[in-house]
Amino acid sequence: MEVLTTVTDIIVARIWVPIERQVMYLFKARQNLRSMRNAMNELKNTRNDVKRKVDLAEREQLTCTDTVRAWLEKVEAEEQEVHEMVENFPSTRCLEGYCPKNCWLSYRLGKRVAKKLRDISELQSRGVSFSVIADKPTPDCVVEVHSTPTVGAEEKFLEVQNYISNDEFGIIGIYGMPGVGKTTILKKINNHFTEGIHVFDVVIWAVVSKEHRVGKLQRDIGEMLGLPWQETAGDDARARDIFKVLRRKKFMLLLDDIWKPLDMEKIGIPLPNSRNKCKVILTTRFEDVCTSMDSHKRTKVDCLGWNEAWDLFCQKVGGEIIKSNPDILSLAEVVAKKCSGLPLALITTGRAMASKKTSTDWKRAIDILQKSPVDIAGIDEKVYHILKFSYDNLPEDTKPCFLYCSLFPEDNPIEKEQLIEFWIAEGFLDGSQGIHEAHDKGYLLIESLVVSCLLETAGNQETQVKMHDVLRDMALWIASDCGKKKNKIMVEAGSRLTEASRVEFWDEAEKVSLMHNEIEALLEPPTCPKLLTLMLQWNKDLYYFSDNFFESMAVSLRVLDLSHTDIKVLPDSICILVNMKYLNLSHTKIIALPGEVRNLLQLMHLDLSYTLHLRTIPRDVISKLFQLQVLNLYQSYGDWERQDGGVSLMELECLKNLTSLGITINNSQALLRFIGSQILLEHTRRLQIWKCQDLPVVNISLQLGNMKSLQELEISSFYMLEELTIAGMTEGENWPLSSLEKLTLCNLPRLKLVQKGKVPPGCLQNFRGLDITYCHSLKNPAELLETGREEFHVPI
């Protein structure tokens, strides 16, 4: 009997159960249809929740994961299919509603409904289990770089492209004299891979330059690979991280302007070969660099032939000028031939000649060219003589400004405003008529140098420029009287020095630039009675000078920059620099301003901004600096009007030549005194107000209404501040803060209300940024100022 039962169970399990399942597809079709519709509604709710999270993440510059995106697409498809199934399900039934009229059709639809119900349940389970909705976007596999149209380089570009398609050539070297167009070709190769599909997982562009650093190169490569930058990690650790990523990718690495052979293993670059089919393409001035880096293929870029050179020259001069006069046409050919087919010379010379409208101007230009020696040994000097023609055509007051740019490190962006301040201090720009007028002239001068291709835009194109390395070398050559006085200008900026070398050669120096190095102390006092300019900024570890370091330059020194150093105490000898005009101590750890600074009677520019440790400024020091035009104490000393003998705001009012002020105020008494000073309000460009605890309301428009020059305003650490009024003037009244570029609100925990009032149209045309941090009670911070701009940064 037990055996029979077992056999019966097997028969039921193997035969009847499948039959029952098929029958249920028919008779439970409507029940399953209702269940499917309910499950689909739940899935849609889950889908909406996930989409809200995705939208929020994308507003925070994150990217939806591929898994979540595929799930959302699948849900959309399922929704459409469910809708079609519901619409097509038969409604006619027989046997008092227990049996569908078309059994075969109902069976097929019932089976589809049951399967769809299982699919929906699976999607629902996946949707509610997502732990990661979005993550940081992956970098583009290739980033387009700015380039100019190539003239005469197409053939060389195609040649290199053929080498790239050959698996045997892993490392390809492009070499040639400076200014011949190597970088232009490399940029064209990079940008070619932005057009459609290519075989490389990633194309990386990096500029190496003369004084390259392994860390900087690793940072550039790491950014393209999406690797986080670890400041404290060593070069070896970063190399291992880069190698781990690159060895799994088919990469192309484009290295521009190599001066010395690179050890790719130290950087973390796997060696390209025919197996991994990766590529490294480099440009250099020297063929032996290609050889030392084991290039599988080398190609030389020569100067342009005459037809190509003439086309490029005419393009830069302008065809209308050349065709306007037969004499100019023949003279232009003479000038173009002097450039010897060098693209950089053709471009800069052509731009310089674009303003020459008469044959007399062209003849004078040819005379200048012919006076330059043509038989000087060394190709670089021949290039310099050609490029020097563009320099010779500059106005006389512009030439020293151009040469000054060579004091900065190679390939290093230069802040336009800082450059202009140096020019004023050096006397290249006349600041006696007003700092604002001098700055306006400086910006026009910079623009003229950019238009003349003697400077290039860099980084933030609105605020920074840089000098091409060939032009920088030429400028240093000119500044040293064309190499005759090699110690006149001493520049070792960005050379990774740990000590000031060659101090014994400073005796003839007029300008010394040691910025962007790793110098810790200056122990040996130099003998340099002619020194006018000393640049030591961005030596972050520099903390000590010998007491008599400045003695030999007591009468000569005009410009001294110690910014971004570790200086805490100034040496006594700094106070004997009686003809100093520019002193920059910003971003240092200086604790007290020595009373002897009052002896610097010629000082025109004193920068103490971001000296967060500065606690003492003695009375009657700043007021004695009668020539002071620029005083910057923004994010610095702010304890004015103390009763213990410290500096007062009245001293600043005594500075009759002051035209630009940056100031920090950290008490209510000083703030009221400041607001009541028409002179200080008029000249303030940067203002930080903080820790004025007993002010519940601030009305910027009324209390700071006369600050027509204010560019940057920070209000921070007002723990009692509840209301801030941005505007609110009467009809027809001029809005006072039309020059404002940046407003920062920080650590205002009780601030709830921002009253905007009426802001006249166009009054915020200079406004660039709004930063709000730790203002937790403030609602809708992005609506503070309605300017139509999108650049506001609001990190609550």
What tens digit of pLDDT does each residue of 708-749 get?
A: 888 999 998 888 887 777 665 555 455 566 788 888 888 888
Q: Are residues 112 and 172 in the same domain?
A: no
Co-location of 47 and 114 in the same domain? yes
The CA–CA distances, whole Å, from 527 to 195, 504, 523, 574 equal 59, 7, 13, 15
At 657, which CATH number? 3.80.10
Residues 130 and 172 in one domain: no
Same domain, 167 and 120: no
User: Residue 70 and residue 64: Cα distance in Å, rounded?
Assistant: 10
Least confident window among 284-298, 299-313, 398-412, 451-465:
451-465
> Quick check: is 595 in a domain?
yes
Q: Kindly state the average pLDDT of the residues 501-528.
A: 89
Query: Does one domain contain both 77 and 181?
Result: no
- H-helix or E-strand spanning residue 426: helix 416-426
Q: Which of 78, 79, 76, 87 is nearest to 109 (CA)?
A: 87
Residues 91 and 235 in one domain: no
pLDDT confidence of residue 760: 58
Residue that finishes a domain, picked among 75, 101, 135: 135
Amino acid 579: pLDDT:
95
Q: Is residue 518 part of a domain?
A: no
With a cut of 70, say whether residue 443 has pLDDT above it.
yes
What would the two tokens of residue 729 be?
């003037």
Residue 41 within a domain: yes
pLDDT of residue 452: 77
- Which pLDDT tens digit goes with each residue over 420-438? 999 999 999 987 777 788 8
User: Would you say residue 316 lies in a domain?
Assistant: no
> Mean of the per-residue pLDDT values for the chain?
82
Say if residue 119 is in the same domain as residue 179: no
Q: Say if residues 174 and 186 touch (Cβ distance below 8 Å).
A: yes
Q: How far is CA 16 from CA 25, 27, 98, in A?
A: 14, 16, 21
Residue 168 and residue 124 share a domain: no
Which residues span the domain enclosing 158? 154-300
User: CA of 243: how far to CAs of 218, 247, 265, 422, 650, in Å?
Assistant: 11, 6, 9, 43, 62
Number of domains in the chain: 3
Q: What pLDDT does residue 610 have? A: 96
Q: Which residues contact 790 (CB under 8 A, 6 or more apart)?
A: none
- Per mean pLDDT, which range of 302-316, 470-484, 551-565, 617-631 is the poorest? 470-484
Instruction: Quickly state the pLDDT bin for 794 (edges 50, 70, 90).
Output: very low
Residues 242 and 108 in one domain: no
pLDDT at 94: 46
780-790 pLDDT, tens digit per residue, is: 655 555 444 43
Asked whether residue 8 carries a pLDDT value surpassing 90, the answer given is no
> Are 166 and 66 found together in one domain?
no
pLDDT of residue 103: 55
Which one of 300, 319, 337 terminates a domain?
A: 300
* Residue 70 counted as domain residue: yes
Is there a domain that residue 93 lies in? yes
Answer yes or no: is 422 within a domain.
no
The pLDDT of 117-132, averaged and rounded, is 80
Kindly report the length of the chain.
796
More confident residue, 244 or 706: 244
Same domain, 119 and 186: no
Amino acid at 356: K
DSSP 173: E
Among residues 267, 300, 333, which one ends one of the domains? 300
- Strand pairing of 93-94 and 99-100? antiparallel
Q: Is there a domain that residue 514 lies in?
A: no
Rounded Cα gap, residues 258 and 275, in angstroms: 26
pTM of the model: 0.69
Res. 16 pLDDT band, cuts 50 70 90: very low
Whether 105 and 168 map to the same domain: the answer is no
